[in-house]
Structure 1
């Protein structure tokens, strides 16, 4: 949800803009605060202007006493009139306008339904409502409302519109630019806690990522390379070092993002919110394809990693609403690879960890019939005896006698 704040002198102009939309049938009033509500439910410009101006004292020093705010949810956010009104009222209260008169209008003139709020920046005593760090506080408030009502993040909506994320297409060329234009936004939009989770996210956009470790000049290094993939996940271009894309795409940048993501995920409790709907979708799904369809309705993606035999060994869920990437193991055992393998491939044999058979030598016995312990003995040594993992010492080298004179 994106908030846009504008201030000015013209109260009539702000009200007339919204009232015109109402008269055209493209808007309606959802709520009013500290304003008399008409008996027939219809607000009229003259009466509304009188109610607002009656609030203002005869003298005040604020140059721009009018505030006009628009709150714009994501097009995919489906909200009732009651929810929109509640969001508008909570936003105004948190911003410091809870004791000010305001009107909340819902606009439907475009596909993206949104609300406009008109209020006064001067209280009844002539004092200006504090606008200190107003835009910063507004962003924090919209973030809180997004979490409460499970809305698309404001940053994600605004940036997604600017960046227009698309899968990388090697046939179009300029692979470095395509990868950079996708990796950087994903790093800023999504939260992940491991390289594997980030790799799963990148796979949705035909991008592969690998870590490179080694030593050069006596110093250890940790690098990241990216490459374009085809629809089957195969590399189709030369890998590109993260240094060519920007610092945030390197190992240190990813580490900082993972640490930040971990703290945010713990704080907002998104894992707890996702478990019930995921469990319901998994229980109702007939097969893997049906499970994916149910997740798509929830605005989620599923990334499965399979070995050569087709067995699932890794599960990652990507929630595009909260923009969070979570391995199945983080959500619970019921979402692990083994559970999904058994659920979708019941004919596959369960994985059993079988210990390899090792021939055990016959224990040696002494003349008195007692078992002699040793390094390869199958009998545990007694306390005070030879340690279980004895240190093996190299035999002393025999000192070679030096010979003098001519040797034939």
Structure 2
């Protein structure tokens, strides 16, 4: 499973994009809104808890490996678990499923502002944490295990390594 994270300032454009895909389906989350406008209005509640926070929008897309087939219920379960393990256990979030690419995937839009304290979720080392969470989810759900970014880097020779090999030959 591959995860791509971004942080931003505004919810409305992201929600419009997530909803606008022809095959988009709202499958989960902890919010009552059913469309982009309602959800954006609801996200304003957390925004009001911390008006000094800058990048309050957390967007992650999780893509399954080619061989994995997941239904909406499993994707929702995985999305919920991912958010909890990434430290978003008291945050607003919503999960959309898209079928607009070859890869089966979901998008999670979340507020980085915690509803219980008004503080922003700490994002230090979030890319490393995300990979660890995803590797464990792959194991627990018996999914195809994707190579992490570190393993990919360790197996790809650098330009310098290639030059040394060429000069030896």
The normalised TM-score by structure 2 is: 0.83
- Cα distance in 2 for partners of 1:137, 1:58 equals 26
Matches within 5 A, 1:14-33: 14-21=14-21, 24=22, 26-33=23-30
Q: Does residue 36 of the first structure (1) align with residue 32 of the second (2)?
A: yes
- Cα distance in 2 for partners of 1:140, 1:120 equals 22
1:117 Cα shift? 0.1
Matches within 5 A, 1:144-223: 144-155=136-147, 184=155
Alignment correspondent of 2:64: 73
Q: Mark the structure with the bigger radius of gyration.
A: 1
Q: Is the 8 A contact 1:61 1:126 kept in 2?
A: no
Distance 1:81 1:58, change over 3 A: closer
State the aligned residue count.
155
Q: Is the 8 A contact 1:105 1:116 kept in 2?
A: yes
1:20 Cα shift? 0.6
Alignment correspondent of 1:64: 55
Distance 1:8 1:142, change over 3 A: same
- Cα distance in 2 for partners of 1:63, 1:51 equals 18
- Cα distance in 1 for partners of 2:60, 2:10 equals 14
1:244 Cα shift? 5.4
Alignment correspondent of 2:127: 135
SS in 2 for 1:57: helix
1:60 Cα shift? 2.9
Alignment correspondent of 2:3: 3
- Cα distance in 2 for partners of 1:244, 1:59 equals 55
- Cα distance in 2 for partners of 1:3, 1:44 equals 24
1:58 Cα shift? 5.3
The CA deviation string for residues 312-355 of structure 1, in whole angstroms up to 9 with x for no partner, is: xxxxxxxxxxxxxxxxxxxxxxxxxxxxxxxxxxxxxxxxxxxx
Q: Is the 8 A contact 1:107 1:115 kept in 2?
A: yes
Structure 2 unaligned runs (5+)?
A: 157-163
SS in 2 for 1:154: coil
- Cα distance in 2 for partners of 1:7, 1:83 equals 25
1:111 to 102, 110, 129: 102
- Cα distance in 1 for partners of 2:48, 2:10 equals 16
Alignment correspondent of 2:114: 123
SS in 1 for 2:94: strand
Q: Is the 8 A contact 2:50 2:119 kept in 1?
A: no
Alignment correspondent of 1:96: 87
SS in 1 for 2:26: strand
Displaced runs of 4 or more, over 6 A: none
1:114 Cα shift? 0.3
1:149 Cα shift? 1.1
